[in-house]
Amino acid sequence: MSTRSLSILESIDPATGATVGAVPIAARAEIEAAVRSARAAQPAWARRTLAERACALAPLAARLEERAEELASLITREMGKPRREALGEVRGCAATLAARLNEIAAALEPEVTEDANTRSVIYHDPFGVCAAIAPWNFPLSMPHSLVVPALMAGNAVVLKPSEETPLVAEEYAAMVRALLPAGVLAIVHGADEVGKALVEAEVDLIAFTGSRETGKKILAAAAQGLKRVILELGGKDPMIVLDDADLDKAAKFAVMNAFRNAGQVCVSTERIYVDEKIAADFEAKVAELTARLKVGAGTEEGVDVGPMVNGRQRDFVLEQVKKAVAQGARMVAGGGHKENFVMPTVLSGLTHDMDIMKKETFGPVACILRYRGEDEAVRLANDTPYGLGATVFGRDETRALAVARRLQAGMIGVNKSCGGASGAPWVGAKESGYGFHGSKDGHRQFAQTRVVSVPKG
């Protein structure tokens, strides 16, 4: 039987329906062969020091910067995000790489610990072969956030990018591979079946970013071989607007964070809980800012909101909105769609028995619910199996911080987005994460900890 792939994966521009390009879908035998090659190449890569591995990867920053415009165009064509955001994605990866490599190297240096009788060295060794499985919403930075720490830890990597954005990933992988010994990084293309086959292959670590549902399947499949997993999953992020909040600032943030990347962001603001005393003013401001957003193809100048990634995602979002309205939600702004373009939509008058308050929407929809008293706001914000990000807006920082500490999310921003300072982890709580990235602890999840001890003489 042939081991060559027989089928082709087409990448479609969601704004126009045009074919952007195509890649071959990896057959199971090809996936297994990629894992075998990675395993063969890994020991020599692992023998290099952390500084040598960092040196090998460092030129990637300049190469990304040189090709930023071209890569940004490809991102926009493959998944629709406005060009400005696509360029920010590429430049962000380039600008932060040097610091990231230093941070990872520092996290993985061996450490010594001793007591009266024993001297121990704690090592952070590679696992072996890492399967890196990525989503499409940040087609460059998501593969990058999996591949870089896995390689720095001395693992070889087989990357399976999203079937929605194979071409960006192909370019990215080619740039990284040019810096590495043969076989250390491979890429395989395809959808669920290819992801499943990769998880089932002889890999040691599965680093996955994607939906909660797929995360659960991967965890179950990994259990067979007790393979290590790092799962960064979806969210249903709440925003709490306290009665003393700066309403202009809060409304501006809500609109930016609900509609950026057409709401296709894991830490999008999907649920907004606003004190009933200020709710009418807040809603009016959000509606006004939302109405100003320009919707269109990401290639057009000045566009704020591009298309949904595909028709399936569009229909899912529209159905959630339709059901919420049928159950009594009020449309404050937006509504409707044209082809894959869903108008930025603001709903109010929601209740927690509606589907839209429970399931991740991943589209340009902001849901506003009025609360009475902080206890109710906290209870509603925590009433979800998700726990990725959250935000609290209020002028009295001490009070806002106290509310923040009661939220069950992994990352909470007070009067800002949920992302932390450099060196802070990217971490989901509850069903939004199982393992995490960034920070000393996050980087170490890509490595096997080992201890070698000797008696003190």
Within 8 A by CB and 6+ apart from 380, the residues are 238, 271, 273, 352, 369, 371
The pairing of strands 118-126 and 111-114 is: antiparallel
Min. distance of Cβ 348 from ligand NAD in angstroms?
A: 24
178 near 92, Cβ under 8 Å?
no
Choice among 93, 163, 171, 266 that is catalytic: 266
Query: Which of 146, 305 has the CB closer to ligand NAD?
Result: 146
Residues in the chain: 457
Size of the site for ligand NAD (CB under 6 A): 30
137 binds ligand NAD (CB under 6 A): yes
The pairing of strands 129-133 and 156-160 is: parallel
Applying CB under 6 A, which of residues 127, 362, 371, 446 lies at the interface with ligand NAD? 362
Query: Which of 54, 133 has the CB closer to ligand NAD?
Result: 133
Site for ligand NAD in 43-102 (CB under 6 A): none
Backbone angles phi, psi at 274, to 5 degrees: -125, 135
Query: Which of 282, 446 has the CB closer to ligand NAD?
Result: 446
Order of all β-strands in the sheet with 205-209? 185-187, 156-160, 129-133, 205-209, 228-232, 433-434
Site for ligand NAD in 215-254 (CB under 6 A): 217-218, 232-235
Min. distance of Cβ 342 from ligand NAD in angstroms?
A: 16
The rounded distance, in Å, linking the Cα atoms of 414 and 391 is 6
The pairing of strands 118-126 and 447-455 is: antiparallel
Q: How many CB atoms lie within 10 A of CB 66?
A: 12
Closest Cα partner for 165 from 67, 78, 262? 78
Catalytic-residue membership of 418 = no
DSSP calls for 341-352: EEPPEEEES--T
428 binds ligand NAD (CB under 6 A): yes
Min. distance of Cβ 215 from ligand NAD in angstroms?
A: 7
Query: Which of 172, 362 has the CB closer to ligand NAD?
Result: 362
Q: Which residue is nearest to ligand NAD (CB)?
A: 195
Min. distance of Cβ 274 from ligand NAD in angstroms?
A: 24
Min. distance of Cβ 262 from ligand NAD in angstroms?
A: 12
The rounded distance, in Å, linking the Cα atoms of 450 and 442 is 17
Query: Which of 25, 50 has the CB closer to ligand NAD?
Result: 25
Applying CB under 6 A, which of residues 275, 360, 374, 431 lies at the interface with ligand NAD? 360
Applying CB under 6 A, which of residues 9, 25, 239, 266 lies at the interface with ligand NAD? 266
Min. distance of Cβ 365 from ligand NAD in angstroms?
A: 14
136 binds ligand NAD (CB under 6 A): yes
Query: Which of 127, 371 has the CB closer to ligand NAD?
Result: 127
| Burial readout 340-376 (b: 16 or more C-beta within 10 A, e: otherwise) | bbbbbbbbbbbeeebebbbbbbbbbbbbbbbbeebee
Min. distance of Cβ 388 from ligand NAD in angstroms?
A: 6
31 binds ligand NAD (CB under 6 A): no
121 near 112, Cβ under 8 Å?
yes
The rounded distance, in Å, linking the Cα atoms of 268 and 153 is 31
Amino acid identity at 184 = V
Site for ligand NAD in 155-214 (CB under 6 A): 160, 162-163, 191-192, 195-196, 199, 209-211, 214
Q: How many CB atoms lie within 10 A of CB 32?
A: 18
Catalytic-residue membership of 55 = no
Min. distance of Cβ 435 from ligand NAD in angstroms?
A: 11
Choice among 232, 270, 360, 431 that is catalytic: 232
Query: Which of 127, 362 has the CB closer to ligand NAD?
Result: 362
Query: Which of 136, 393 has the CB closer to ligand NAD?
Result: 136
Alpha-helix runs per DSSP H in 292-363: 311-326
- What does the block give as tokens for 183? 């076989």
Catalytic residue ranges: 232, 266
Residues that bind ligand NAD (CB under 6 A): 133-137, 142, 160, 162-163, 191-192, 195-196, 199, 209-211, 214, 217-218, 232-235, 266, 360, 362, 388, 426, 428
